[in-house]
Chains A and B, each alone.
Chain A
Amino acid sequence: MPQIFPRKANALPAVSLMGALGGGLVVVLVVWYFFSPKFTDVGYQPEQPVPYSHALHAGEFAIDCRYCHNHVETSEHANIPSTQTCMNCHSQVRTESLKLLPVRESWAAGTPIPWVNVHFLPDYVQFSHAVHVNVGVGCESCHGRIDQMEEVALEEPLSMSWCLDCHRNPEESLRDPALVTQMGFNEEVRADGATFAAYVAANTARIEAEGIQPPLNCSACHY
């Protein structure tokens, strides 16, 4: 009886096995990379109803973050400022600006400005700004260099593993609570190896002295 399959068909099982494994690996890597918040979420920069520039206000004018986000130390929400906060200055400054028209309209009508949420957390995550800011987690650690952003974009993935990175190694992220709003602090302490080592050493000492131990259990954030 003649052979149905040619000799080279003997390689087929091996090739298809390799192909399946390789293909599987590719699928895993594709999902790993392209489905992660790092790829899907970072860089999200929706258009806001008012072209408010953090680079101008927080960067150039160096207005403290807490002037507008005034509940960041007391509440879980940092507070998106009310129109009134804008009008504190803009009833005097740039009162004719077209860009500020939605703000003046909101002020006149008493209706809210529909800002678009950039830093989005799912409803099953309970995050408190107050507890982080009071222990000395800088604004820029999660929000990036806001002082350099014309329009706010998502800088960090806000994924659970990203949260846990910091909760597991708090010595790499803490600072004096008085300095939480300082921008560029993280770059400064990472300027060279020695500075960073000193920073980590100081933080480690503080963590031990104050018993800072960020919780890692589920119900710390999920309930």
Chain B
Amino acid sequence: MIDLDVLTPSDVIADGAPTVWRSREDLAGTAEYAVFRANEFLPGATDAGELEVDAGPSRRTFLQIMGASMAMMGLAGCRRPAEEILPYARKPEEVVPGLPNFYATAMPFAGAVQALLVESYEGRPTKIEGNPEHPVSRGKSGLFAQASILNLYDPDRSRTVYRNGSASTWNEFLSAVQGMNADGASVAVIAEPSSSTTQASIQQQFEQRFPGARWIELHANGDDVTALGTQAAFGRPLRPHYKLSSADVIVSFDADFIGSEDPNSVWNSREYAASRNVDVRGSMSRLYAFESTYTGTGGMADHRKALRACDIAHVAAAVGQGLGVGNGSLGSSTFAGDPMVQAIVQDVRAAGGNAAFVAGPTQPVQVHALCAALNAQFGGNVVEYLDTGAVSVTSLSQSMATLVEDMQAGRIQLLLMLGANPGYSLPANLNFAEAIGNVGMSVHVGLHRDETGQLATWHVPGTHFLEAWDDGRAWDGTLSIIQPLIAPLYKAAHSNLEILSLFATGQYRGGYELVRGTLRPALGSEDAWRTALHDGFVPNTQYAVAGVAGGAPDLSGLPVMADDETEVVFRTSPKLHDGAFSNNAWMQELPHPVSKLVWDNAATMSRATADALGVNIALSKGKHEADIITLSVNGVDRTLPVWVQEGHPDGSITVTLGYGRNLASERQVSDRNLLARIFDRDVDIYRPGPLANGVGTNVGPMRSLGNMAVATASSIAATGESMMLVTTQDHGSMEGRAIVRMTTLEEYQSDPEVIQHQQHILDNTPWEDYPPLWTEPRAASDDPRIANAMYSSEQWGMSIDLNTCTGCNACVVACQSENNIQVVGKDQVSRGRELQWLRIDRYYTGNEANPGMVVQPMMCQHCENAPCESVCPVAATSHSPDGLNEMTYNRCIGTRYCSNNCPYKVRRFNYYNWVKTLPIEVRMAQNPNVTMRFRGVMEKCTYCVQRIRRTQQYAHIEDRPIRDGEISTACQQACPSDAITFGNIADPESAVAKSKHNPRGYDVLAELAVKPRTSYLARLRNPHPSLAEA
């Protein structure tokens, strides 16, 4: 037997490379963690034991069925199933079957719109991308935009008008509205935030018809604290617009401004990435983050400090004091002498107008006002304040409290709820559910008959933004037209605009008429209208930049929390937002950007807080068993599992909204027949009802109107029970090898080769004797079979910049959408059976108490010497002439040898036939260019081969070479921070080839000589000299 050296982590971690770890167990090297390292497949992955599926039939029934089906096979087996082709009766001119059409539209999100370009096959929208010509989007789209296509095809969307809980019709609703006695009625509207100009003009008509009508915008986070803050600082609400690319110092006070939930996250991510682009800029910005929970922004920060949200306000005050802004009566503040605060003050003073201060939704209005004043004084070159035209904003605690009081007292005759879901998110002590019963007529318009829809007198199915006309403004004010790509899937569905206009005028008018009626005159000519429709936006319609002078924010009233109290911080979920994405299977299964939790929300806290509460998370056989606590806030109790988050502040608990839904669905779920139970022992995530129901706990009602973001826990008690939480943070562990490389800007600039020196070295082999793997440039393989084949002039490769990747997850969902990747459910993920081709590995660096974070997208590396290919007994995975590691599904027999032999653990196996259980609506979301995979088949990242092949074919037809950048993979196209470069590495002029020559470039596990085609650019940190790591 050949005696092979076994590599141990200590052999391959070179001197100087930072220690990276995935979880506490990994760091401690516990025995429980060994299961993630030792085996390709987690416990439970390869056996069906304890599977929560229908119990199979008895042996007797099985034999009966087998006998019967054998007999029937003899009769029916010879007949070929006839497949029909249904052409158009009258074919629309622009539709070519098999070729996609692209339409520009926009997605309303958190009060602004994100400009999109949507791919449509024969009238069926299938994929969402950013609008490449739009000044904010520039072809990029965020996580929520990517996922929103599945919301359109949500099988649990409401289809019928409901009246008092029973099915009604649109015509009945219409006559009820038209027969309504409107004179002198006391009317209120609760609407989701909207930037629609058409809605604004209908709102005026509405207010003419119902004088004194109250209009309340219900933001996911409660109050619009940014607007309130700028109002306090400048006298009117303004909108900060961060042009971070030129920033030298960025200070975040609990703001996850590059996270997907920020309404301008696409812009912020790109600008932030540009500020870190050392290759172009020669320097890098420095990001300081104070955080009450670990976010992607904290992960990118050069200096991060975990503090309770209430303490961060005082840090902000101390920073303000250091810079001479704000009233300085901060005697109690212990943060004035904090070295990080002092470093910030020093940096900001040196930055000369290139500083930016960002405050997050957990921060009180005073901190937002302080940041506004600081930006006005120190961020003149970076932060613009845009005049949105708003005159004033009021706090929700005034408007909503009075409204609910009036509702309770029966003083409201008509309550209109447009897309908003107050019955779910409002504080329980408001008693909204009871109050709505005393309203004369309450109307809810929404995609689901959700918590509010079930309370309201009338529920009207809402439309998805891909189904209805509207318009809106991007964060910078650019006017976009939202044009539908498909008629509403359900006849009864109507848009917010149509319903509002119906109430305003008593007449039904369609969305097209309404939007055109507003915008066509404003645009001047028919040509301008058509151009705007085609482009998706009207150029040069940005909001004007308001001249601002530094205000003098009053910080005297900052709330103070005693050290022994525990605060509870309410956040929108980075996966489900405020619940708008709760019934979206992709988003439920998407790993949280930091904790990597799937399918659940948890009470996230620090190790010390958990210890103090006497709760823990036990890791056994690859599964996490979390203790459950009862959390009592504002008199409302909720039970939640505990999640211990490294780098979470002590004395603080983070909970996320969007979970614990109660949606009513009309979808018929038929019983599975016996045959299906035998042959398709598949686990159906769409069964029995809406998948959002029963997942997690709704924490919204624990809030109070006064402060919707932060509260004090009145009691926290362990229940003594526990539940399984599923996280993918440890899945795909690579034996502790240092596969992320990083250094500091200073070291890199003094020695650009520093990253190369972090190369792993094999045991006892001097580096000089180590055989070179290949010589640069990495030319196409010299194998004549490859070199002489067609298409071998193109050699595909990818480069991923860890310096700009924020771990926002947009690529993961983009990949899922493009490649028809199925969702498997919580139980299956706990067995390591998730199917996402692209995972984002999150590593902690440094010590356990305050770790840094670095994320690394990991997918098939398309190795030139692919280990998977040599072990496949049926050659189902092989190499193409253009350097792709091909996966041929129809050839695969499911031995899973390839997966076992993959050093990157990126191959995914279909343990069940997930496609078979897809509801018909969800099937419509699938990409027609990608094969749906069957049970027993291996799959993995293909570099979006369908896009490569299509481009190659048309370049061949048109007899031209493929241009650099012509092919983009789905992940690359979505990435808001441009971290992914893809192209032909055989062309030395291509962007990817140049990127591979960057001195920061390295290959993961290069010592294995597998020659991966995907390489990475090392992460750089830019710490302040005085804050050198102890």
Which residues in A have some Cβ–Cβ distance to B below 8 Å? 44, 46, 71, 74-77, 79-85, 106-107, 109-117, 120, 122-124, 126, 128, 130-131, 134-135, 211-220, 222-223
Closest to A212 in B: B790
Could you tell me the distance in whole angstroms from the C-beta of B782 to the nearest C-beta in chain A? 18
Could you tell me the distance in whole angstroms from the C-beta of A80 to the nearest C-beta in chain B? 4
Q: Confirm or deny: B756 has a beta carbon within 8 angstroms of a beta carbon on chain A.
A: no
Could you tell me the distance in whole angstroms from the C-beta of A22 to the nearest C-beta in chain B? 26
Closest to A111 in B: B89
Give bound CA distance, A9 to B812, whole Å: 70
Contact partners of A116 in chain B: CB under 8 A: 82-85
Question: Is there an interface contact between B97 and A223, defined as CB atoms closer than 8 Å?
Answer: no
Of the listed stretches B42-50, B434-442, B883-891, B985-993, name the one at the interface; the rest are far from the partner chain.
B883-891
Question: Is there an interface contact between A112 and B86, defined as CB atoms closer than 8 Å?
Answer: yes
Contact partners of A106 in chain B: CB under 8 A: 89
Of the listed stretches B554-562, B651-659, B929-937, name the one at the interface; the rest are far from the partner chain.
B929-937
Question: Is there an interface contact between A126 and B929, defined as CB atoms closer than 8 Å?
Answer: yes
Known: A74-B99, A211-B790. Is A219-B886 also a contact (CB below 8 A)?
Answer: yes
Best-surrounded residue of B85, B889, B931, B954 (most CB of chain A within 10 A): B85
Contact partners of A109 in chain B: CB under 8 A: 89
Question: Is there an interface contact between B790 and A214, defined as CB atoms closer than 8 Å?
Answer: yes
Contact partners of B547 in chain A: CB under 8 A: none
Contact partners of B83 in chain A: CB under 8 A: 116-117, 120
Could you tell me the distance in whole angstroms from the C-beta of B102 to the nearest C-beta in chain A? 15
Could you tell me the distance in whole angstroms from the C-beta of B158 to the nearest C-beta in chain A? 28
Question: Is there an interface contact between B878 and A223, defined as CB atoms closer than 8 Å?
Answer: no
Could you tell me the distance in whole angstroms from the C-beta of B935 to the nearest C-beta in chain A? 14
Could you tell me the distance in whole angstroms from the C-beta of B833 to the nearest C-beta in chain A? 22
Binary A-proximity of B788-807 (CB < 8 A = 1, otherwise 0):
01110000000000000000
Contact partners of A135 in chain B: CB under 8 A: 956-957
Contact partners of A83 in chain B: CB under 8 A: 87-90
Contact partners of A76 in chain B: CB under 8 A: 98-99
Best-surrounded residue of A115, A126, A214 (most CB of chain B within 10 A): A126
Contact partners of B946 in chain A: CB under 8 A: 126, 223
Q: Confirm or deny: B757 has a beta carbon within 8 angstroms of a beta carbon on chain A.
A: no
Closest to B875 in A: A218
Best-surrounded residue of A116, A130, A135, A216 (most CB of chain B within 10 A): A130
Closest to A46 in B: B82
Chain B, range 924-964, C-beta contacts under 8 Å to A: 929-932, 942, 945-946, 949, 953-954, 956-957
Give bound CA distance, A106 to B879, whole Å: 48
Q: Confirm or deny: B80 has a beta carbon within 8 angstroms of a beta carbon on chain A.
A: yes
Contact partners of A117 in chain B: CB under 8 A: 82-85
Closest to A114 in B: B84
Give bound CA distance, A84 to B93, whole Å: 12
Q: Which 9 A-B pairs have the closest CB atoms?
A: A213-B790, A219-B886, A112-B86, A82-B91, A77-B98, A75-B98, A82-B88, A218-B888, A117-B83
Known: A214-B790, A215-B789, A220-B949. Is A112-B886 also a contact (CB below 8 A)?
Answer: no
Closest to A103 in B: B89
Q: Confirm or deny: B7 has a beta carbon within 8 angstroms of a beta carbon on chain A.
A: no
Question: Is there an interface contact between A84 and B99, defined as CB atoms closer than 8 Å?
Answer: no
Q: Confirm or deny: B880 has a beta carbon within 8 angstroms of a beta carbon on chain A.
A: yes
Give bound CA distance, A130 to B97, whole Å: 12
Could you tell me the distance in whole angstroms from the C-beta of B906 to the nearest C-beta in chain A? 17
**18 A-B pairs with C-beta separation under 8 A:** A46-B82, A75-B97, A77-B97, A82-B91, A84-B88, A110-B89, A115-B86, A117-B82, A120-B83, A126-B946, A211-B790, A213-B790, A217-B878, A217-B879, A217-B880, A220-B880, A222-B886, A222-B889
Give the contacting residue for B953; candidates A107, A120, A124, A131; CB below 8 A: A131
Give the contacting residue for A122; candidates B88, B790, B890; CB below 8 A: B890
Given contacts A81-B87, A217-B878, A223-B886, 18 further A-B contacts (CB under 8 A): A71-B97, A77-B97, A84-B91, A85-B91, A112-B88, A115-B85, A116-B84, A124-B931, A126-B931, A130-B954, A135-B956, A215-B791, A216-B789, A217-B789, A218-B878, A218-B888, A222-B888, A223-B931
Contact partners of A222 in chain B: CB under 8 A: 886, 888-891, 931
Give bound CA distance, A216 to B879, whole Å: 11
Could you tell me the distance in whole angstroms from the C-beta of A120 to the nearest C-beta in chain B? 6
Question: Is there an interface contact between A44 and B80, defined as CB atoms closer than 8 Å?
Answer: yes
Known: A116-B83, A215-B881, A222-B889. Is A128-B931 also a contact (CB below 8 A)?
Answer: no
Give bound CA distance, A190 to B886, whole Å: 37
Question: Is there an interface contact between B953 and A130, defined as CB atoms closer than 8 Å?
Answer: yes
Closest to B790 in A: A213
Give bound CA distance, A163 to B91, whole Å: 32
Give bound CA distance, A106 to B949, whole Å: 36
Which residues in B have some Cβ–Cβ distance to A below 8 Å? 80, 82-91, 96-99, 789-791, 878-881, 884, 886-891, 929-932, 942, 945-946, 949, 953-954, 956-957
Question: Is there an interface contact between B80 and A223, defined as CB atoms closer than 8 Å?
Answer: no
Give bound CA distance, A212 to B84, whole Å: 35
Question: Is there an interface contact between A79 and B99, defined as CB atoms closer than 8 Å?
Answer: no
Could you tell me the distance in whole angstroms from the C-beta of B926 to the nearest C-beta in chain A? 11
Closest to A83 in B: B89
Could you tell me the distance in whole angstroms from the C-beta of B357 to the nearest C-beta in chain A? 48
Give bound CA distance, A114 to B84, whole Å: 6
Give the contacting residue for A107; candidates B80, B89, B791; CB below 8 A: B89
Closest to B86 in A: A112
Give bound CA distance, A123 to B934, whole Å: 11
Could you tell me the distance in whole angstroms from the C-beta of B855 to the nearest C-beta in chain A? 28
Contact partners of A107 in chain B: CB under 8 A: 89
Give the contacting residue for A123; candidates B98, B888, B932; CB below 8 A: B932
Closest to A211 in B: B790
Known: A80-B85, A82-B87. Is A71-B98 also a contact (CB below 8 A)?
Answer: yes
Could you tell me the distance in whole angstroms from the C-beta of A43 to the nearest C-beta in chain B? 11
Closest to A217 in B: B880
Question: Is there an interface contact between A124 and B89, defined as CB atoms closer than 8 Å?
Answer: no
Give the contacting residue for B945; candidates A110, A112, A131, A223; CB below 8 A: A223
Contact partners of A111 in chain B: CB under 8 A: 89
Question: Is there an interface contact between B89 and A114, defined as CB atoms closer than 8 Å?
Answer: no
Question: Is there an interface contact between B888 and A131, defined as CB atoms closer than 8 Å?
Answer: no
Question: Is there an interface contact between B96 and A113, defined as CB atoms closer than 8 Å?
Answer: no
Question: Is there an interface contact between A84 and B953, defined as CB atoms closer than 8 Å?
Answer: no
Give bound CA distance, A128 to B98, whole Å: 9
Known: A71-B98, A83-B90, A131-B953. Is A218-B85 also a contact (CB below 8 A)?
Answer: no
Give bound CA distance, A71 to B142, whole Å: 35
Could you tell me the distance in whole angstroms from the C-beta of A102 to the nearest C-beta in chain B? 11
Could you tell me the distance in whole angstroms from the C-beta of B390 to the nearest C-beta in chain A? 48
Could you tell me the distance in whole angstroms from the C-beta of B92 to the nearest C-beta in chain A? 9
Closest to B932 in A: A123
Could you tell me the distance in whole angstroms from the C-beta of B132 to the nearest C-beta in chain A? 23
Contact partners of A71 in chain B: CB under 8 A: 96-99
Give the contacting residue for B949; candidates A46, A77, A115, A223; CB below 8 A: A223
Question: Is there an interface contact between B880 and A219, defined as CB atoms closer than 8 Å?
Answer: yes
Could you tell me the distance in whole angstroms from the C-beta of B746 to the nearest C-beta in chain A? 45
Give bound CA distance, A131 to B791, whole Å: 14
Give bound CA distance, A123 to B879, whole Å: 22
Known: A131-B957, A223-B949. Is A114-B881 also a contact (CB below 8 A)?
Answer: no
Known: A84-B90, A116-B85, A218-B886. Is A134-B957 also a contact (CB below 8 A)?
Answer: yes
Contact partners of A215 in chain B: CB under 8 A: 789-791, 881
Known: A71-B96, A112-B86, A124-B931. Is A213-B890 also a contact (CB below 8 A)?
Answer: no
Closest to A75 in B: B98
Give bound CA distance, A115 to B929, whole Å: 23
Closest to A221 in B: B949
Give bound CA distance, A83 to B87, whole Å: 8
Question: Is there an interface contact between B791 and A124, defined as CB atoms closer than 8 Å?
Answer: no
Could you tell me the distance in whole angstroms from the C-beta of A81 to the nearest C-beta in chain B? 6
Could you tell me the distance in whole angstroms from the C-beta of B289 to the nearest C-beta in chain A? 42
Could you tell me the distance in whole angstroms from the C-beta of A169 to the nearest C-beta in chain B? 15
Contact partners of B932 in chain A: CB under 8 A: 123
Contact partners of B879 in chain A: CB under 8 A: 217
Known: A75-B99, A131-B956, A223-B942. Is A124-B890 also a contact (CB below 8 A)?
Answer: yes
Question: Is there an interface contact between B789 and A124, defined as CB atoms closer than 8 Å?
Answer: no
